């Protein structure tokens, strides 16, 4: 089976270098690593010539981070039997790719991997895979599979795009990521719901990836405009609200009026720079 790894990047040079170190220690290396830079040209990381690396660039449209466009472009560049999408802030475990390969060989579906979250400082200097494995913790809301295990699921709402695998045909059946979603928030849940609507089966695989620690906003006030815009877009398409915990948090901050049982989402004011700064915390992203 030919497998390509697909990564999208803006900034995060150290994260990208750490991901390259992870691929070099992988039991099964990707046959090609496709890296798409958002608003930047990417210098291919050094893999000692053991991995074919190609880079591409997409640019921001209307001041919004082109996440969907970048993932779609990466998929367009792949002619593999299977594609593994891995966010730049993730390091593949040595057996991540073999687990995805076995899962896809067993069943052609949308497979989400098993992210494990690292504490601050775990990857800022020299590190080893045993150290990452020892320090990493599972997300409390995701299935806790053992490495190499997989299970079918109908919980499409738990899909996150930071670590997943599928075949190009299945990606096309889903329709790729909707580029109607601009910037951060909602585009991955929309992708999963589109998979469900298209009859594409879903599942979780114990394909572990170590999420590198970085500061986040809780709630993500730094992505306020995109989240509001994408939430409204999602509601129109699926008749339900995504990211409810974030929207409720925005409401508690007095920034919006929000009622999850209706179409009510009204802007009161945008967050100030001070509010964004005060919301920035050093906790594992996604918690």
pLDDT (tens digit per residue) in 151-204 = 999 999 999 999 999 999 999 999 999 999 988 889 999 999 999 999 999 999
Q: What's the total number of domains in the chain?
A: 2
Residue 220 forms part of a structural domain: yes
- pTM value is 0.92
Task: Give the end of a domain, one of 155, 185, 211.
Answer: 211
For residues 86 and 101, membership in a common domain is answered with yes
In the chain, count H helices and then E strands.
Answer: 9, 14
Statement to judge: residues 260 and 133 lie in one domain: no
Select from 242, 277, 273, 276 the least CA-distant residue to 260. Answer: 242
pLDDT in tens, 65-74: 899 999 999 9
Tell whether 205 and 260 lie within a shared domain.
Answer: no
Assigned domain for 24 exists: yes
Angle at 206 between CA 200 and CA 210, to 5 degrees: 115
What CATH number did the domain enclosing 150 receive? 3.90.550.10
What is the arithmetic mean of pLDDT over 80-86?
98
- Based on the fold, state whether residues 122 and 248 are members of the same structural domain: no
- Residue 162 maps to a domain: yes
Q: What values do phi and psi take at 110, rounded to 5?
A: -85, 110
Full domain range(s) for residue 206: 3-211
Q: Considering the domain boundaries, does residue 8 fall inside one?
A: yes
Q: Are 44 and 72 members of one domain?
A: yes
Do 58 and 155 share a domain, yes or no?
Answer: yes
């Amino acid at each position: 089976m030919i497998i390509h790894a697909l990564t999208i990047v803006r900034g995060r040079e150290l994260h990208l270098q750490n991901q390259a170190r992870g691929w070099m220690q992988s039991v099964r290396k990707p046959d090609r690593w496709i890296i798409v830079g958002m608003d930047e040209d990417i210098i291919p990381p050094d893999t000692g010539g053991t991995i074919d690396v190609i880079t591409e660039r997409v640019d921001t449209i209307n001041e919004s981070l082109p996440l969907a466009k970048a993932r779609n472009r990466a998929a367009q560049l792949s002619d593999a039997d299977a594609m593994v999408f891995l966010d730049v802030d993730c390091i593949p475990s040595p057996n991540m790719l073999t687990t995805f390969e076995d899962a896809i060989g067993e069943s052609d579906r949308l497979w989400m991997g098993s992210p494990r979250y690292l504490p601050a400082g775990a990857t800022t200097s020299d590190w080893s895979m045993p150290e990452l494995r020892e320090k990493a913790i599972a997300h409390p809301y995701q299935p806790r599979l053992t490495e190499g295990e997989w299970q079918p699921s109908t919980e499409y709402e738990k899909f996150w795009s930071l670590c997943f695998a599928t075949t190009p045909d299945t990606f096309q059946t889903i329709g790729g990521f909707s580029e109607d979603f601009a910037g951060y928030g909602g585009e991955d849940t929309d992708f999963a719901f589109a998979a469900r609507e298209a009859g594409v089966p879903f599942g979780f695989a114990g394909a572990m990836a170590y999420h590198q620690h970085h500061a986040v906003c809780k709630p993500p006030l730094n992505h306020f405009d995109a989240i509001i815009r994408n939430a409204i877009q999602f509601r129109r398409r699926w008749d339900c609200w995504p990211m409810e915990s974030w929207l409720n948090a925005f409401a508690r901050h007095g920034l919006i009026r929000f009622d999850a049982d209706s179409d009510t989402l009204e802007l009161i004011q945008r967050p100030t720079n001070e509010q964004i700064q005060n919301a920035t915390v050093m906790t594992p992203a996604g918690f």
